[in-house]
A and B are shown apart, each in its own frame.
Chain A
Amino acid sequence: MKRKHHLKLNKYLVAGGIMTAVMVILAIVGTFWTPYSTTTMSAAEKFAAPSLHHIMGTDNFGRDIFSRVMKGLGTTMMVGTLVVVAAGAVGILVGALTGFFGGWIDEVMMRINDAINGFPSILLSLVVISVLGMGRQNVILALSIVFIPSFVRIVRSEYIRLRDMEFVNSARIMGVSKMRILFVHILPNILSVFSISMMIGFNNAILAESGMSYLGIGVQPPDASLGKMLSDAQGYMFTAPWYALSAGVTIVVLVLGISLLGEGIRRCSND
């Protein structure tokens, strides 16, 4: 009877699922095959409006925008995923230890956390990039560092809430080791909250990556990235509006889809 509850679909889940699925499929296909080469330029087809040949038109070098969106989507999503996984893993580790044990570890860690949180994320990533240099790996590293504090906060507060629950005491009385209590007994209980914060984090990472690429400190050409495309397109806003629109709308659909998916899951698990 309860099992049915988990499968019950709601509109958020369906809409978010479809939008996300389309984006994921485009990104995966894009890594292996695109309708046109993403780097071949063609002066003849410069700024071609959307047509059956180029469904999103072409850019200032005559490259097919749809192909570049597919490639850029792949880059963006990979950056987002890696950032969330790396920041999430550190977040769980630090959050679990500080939340469960408290005391001076907690105090020191949280002050470091606050310090990182104190800087605007773009500024902090700028610092990291300027120290380490540009490139895809460094973008991922910079964003991961920026995203750790939010995960630590969430995981820590969940551990604080759960550490005094009777089932934790019960495990202690059984003689379960501390590490096992932390990661086998308590961790499964925070996964629903954590998975939702992962989704929100994923969205923020996508937006941050786009923002960094837009500023020119993100993924470097000839790699395609949605943010970089948006930044390139801004000079041609009136001559070729489809350029900016296709990159912009793709980001919106991706972020919206994942938000809806997260909301859908939250509603499902709350029922």
Chain B
Amino acid sequence: MIKIEDLSVSFQGRTAVEHVSFSIEPGEIIGIVGESGSGKSVTALTLMGLLAEQASVDSGRVTFDDTVLLEAGRSIDKRLLQKFQGSRMSMVFQEPMTSLNPTMKVGKQVEEVLQLHTELKGEEARKKVLSIFDEVGLKNSDMVYESYPHQLSGGMRQRVMIAMALILEPELIIADEPTTALDVTIQAQIIALLKEINKRHHNAMLFITHDLNLAKTLASKIMVMHHGQIVETGTPEEIFTNPQDDYTKMLISAVPQRKKRTCNNAAQRNQKSSAAKGLKSFEEDEDNRKSIAEQIIENLQNVEKEHQEQCVQNGSREILRVSDLDVFYKEGNNSLFGGKKKKQVVNGADFSIYEGEVLGLVGESGCGKTSLSRAILGLNQNYSGQIQHFTERPQMIFQDPYSSLNPAKTIGWLLEEPLRVQKVGKDDRKQAAMEMLAKIGLDETYYRRKPSELSGGQRQRISIGQALITRPHFVIADEPVSALDVTIQAQIMDLMMNLKEEMGLSYLFISHDINIVYQISDRIMVMKDGTIIEMGETEELFSNPREEYTKILLA
């Protein structure tokens, strides 16, 4: 139905998409997977005819049925594209807050699409909008119709966007990261909705995402893009079981998966090998089976005891104890005469962190996990209950490396600042900064650079270095990898694990992504609406979650 042949797009001489060809048939869902800057969004925008003016189509063409929409060397026919936009193909954007007009009721916004493309007016148009709202699963469609975007939740807004894209029953829907800005549970609902729509209307869908797992659940065909080229195409099964391209392989291995972690504990390794040995002699020596079996059991018990003792040795020292903690947020205006309201965001948190331990904290946005960490760090003093630190101040690794590093300073200055505060001498500071650069995998030339010259992953390394330069025992990491591409994510996680072993750190690791938390944590806490609803050993929690909410997160 839609064919893209040999498409190349460049921005002022920089190639964004290179010789891309593919076609989409009705009923098909194609997933384009790639990291930021891989050209996946540019491909979609070209298809929609929404390219920026600086962009130029260098080769190839786009055909819809038999109409040529776009061809290299021909000026863009805006009239023709307009006829296709909205009515025969439409788009769902990533950020539902900014893609809706904040000053207009959402019902009117959807209705506007109808008025532009059809003859429907007044009551009829309204009815049509309400019915489409029902179809995308918006309950109380009357109320939603009369709402402004800020009155709706993120998931509802995205449903409105989908309704808008769907209302003219287009043959092609392009969804550009439609769930990236949403929480995990909402994400799953939107994906299910898209799938259902595809089944019911039998339209084609182009699904663009950086998340390979998401593409796997939704798409019937996956294309992997890298540096503007399609490096691999195949069904999800083919891509996951037998990836051909090196980049795809890397992408798949970087996806956080719930495979068993390699056992690092010496006692557990001993246990494994002695059990294996015992098993071998058990098989070979038929006469003494009973005594061998007893021996194995005894061995195992010893090992278990040893393990426990080690654990106690390693982890007996409490580093942080939080008891019965309520955290509040001051609401209302900060003015002289304005009243102040207190809003409770964390409700009776009660836990401890032990030396050398990684405690994971999982929850969706707005559940209070960041407020909890801010209270522990002393950034928010509005709390009741107790926070006891048994070591020095905790340090923090921030989520967004673009705002956590002072853009006016050099990397060297930034790394040295914590030491400067502690009145460490100039030469010692510089030496410590150089050592830290080596530790975080950057060379000495970075000392004089500014944050603006670094990539996101490099910045996050600096942020980690800055947190660790004072050799703290306890570090809070608030979504340290969620702003990064998947392959970079894996590198940063590795770095954090290595530094933990090397420096004997404890982490409070906060994330919305339970798979990432799984990779690194010894224990996990699940938080919902300000309350810690479940806490347990990682394996235990994964294999046997008690709460319904945890099960949803794990699904």
* A residues with CB within 8 A of B: 2, 102-104, 106-108, 165-167, 169-177, 180, 185, 188-189, 191
Contact = CB atoms under 8 A, between A and B. Distances in A.
Contact of B408 (A106, A107, A189): A189
Contact of B403 (A103, A166, A175, A176): A166
A256 to B, nearest CB: 31
A174 B405 contact: no
A107 B409 contact: no
The A interface, classified by DSSP as helix, strand, loop or mixed, is helix
Given A102-B334, A166-B398, A169-B398, A175 B404 contact: no
Nearest to A171: B417
Contact of A173 (B335, B336, B379, B450): B379
A180 B463 CA distance: 20
Contacts of B398: 166, 169-170
Nearest to B402: A166
A170 B402 CA distance: 13
15 contacts: A2-B450, A104-B336, A106-B334, A167-B403, A167-B404, A167-B407, A169-B379, A170-B405, A172-B379, A173-B393, A174-B466, A174-B470, A180-B421, A188-B406, A188-B408
Contacts of A172: 379
Contact of B377 (A106, A166, A173): A173
Contacts of A173: 377-379, 393-396
B418 interface: yes
B453 interface: yes
A188 B378 CA distance: 26
Contact of B466 (A2, A108, A170, A189): A170
Contacts of A2: 450, 452-453
Interface in B362-413: 377-379, 393-396, 398-400, 403-409
Contacts of A167: 403-407
B479 to A, nearest CB: 11
Contacts of A171: 406, 417
Nearest to A169: B379
Given A172-B379, A173-B395, A175-B422, 14 more contacts: A2-B452, A104-B336, A106-B334, A165-B403, A166-B399, A166-B404, A167-B403, A167-B407, A169-B379, A170-B396, A170-B398, A170-B404, A175-B421, A191-B408
Nearest to B463: A170
A103 B395 CA distance: 28
A151 to B, nearest CB: 19
B421 A176 contact: yes
Interface residues of B, number: 30
Contact of A189 (B334, B395, B406, B470): B406
Contact of A174 (B379, B417, B450, B463): B417
Contacts of A177: 421
A19 to B, nearest CB: 30
A185 B418 contact: no
B466 A175 contact: no
B379 A189 contact: no
Interface of B: 334-336, 377-379, 393-396, 398-400, 403-409, 417-418, 421-422, 450, 452-453, 463, 466, 470
The B interface, classified by DSSP as helix, strand, loop or mixed, is loop
Contacts of A166: 398-400, 403-404
Contacts of A176: 417, 421
B393 A175 contact: yes
A107 B336 contact: yes
- In order of increasing CB-CB distance, the 10 nearest A-B pairs are A188-B408, A166-B404, A107-B336, A174-B418, A167-B406, A166-B403, A166-B398, A189-B408, A165-B403, A102-B334
A263 B483 CA distance: 34
Contacts of B406: 167, 171, 185, 188-189
B510 to A, nearest CB: 14
A167 B401 CA distance: 9
Nearest to A165: B403
B161 to A, nearest CB: 29
B462 to A, nearest CB: 11
B394 to A, nearest CB: 8
A175 B378 CA distance: 11
A103 B334 contact: yes
A205 to B, nearest CB: 27
A174 B403 CA distance: 16
A166 B399 CA distance: 9
A173 B466 CA distance: 11
A191 B408 CA distance: 10
Contacts of A188: 406, 408-409
A170 B336 CA distance: 29
A167 B399 CA distance: 11
A170 B409 CA distance: 14
A188 B407 CA distance: 9
A173 B452 CA distance: 23
Given A103-B334, A107-B335, A107-B336, A174 B421 contact: yes
A107 B334 CA distance: 9
A166 B453 CA distance: 19
Contacts of B404: 165-167, 169-170
A232 to B, nearest CB: 48
B391 to A, nearest CB: 14
A185 B408 CA distance: 8
A231 B525 CA distance: 78
Contacts of B450: 2
A167 B406 CA distance: 6
A5 to B, nearest CB: 10
Nearest to B409: A188
A108 B337 CA distance: 11
A106 B334 CA distance: 10
Nearest to B377: A173
A51 to B, nearest CB: 54
Contacts of A104: 336
Contacts of B407: 167, 189
B327 to A, nearest CB: 16
A248 B347 CA distance: 70
Contacts of B418: 174-175
Nearest to B392: A175
A34 B484 CA distance: 64
A107 B333 CA distance: 11
A190 to B, nearest CB: 9
B408 to A, nearest CB: 4
A271 to B, nearest CB: 12
Nearest to B337: A107
A191 B546 CA distance: 55
Contacts of A103: 334
Nearest to A1: B453
A185 B421 CA distance: 12
A179 to B, nearest CB: 12
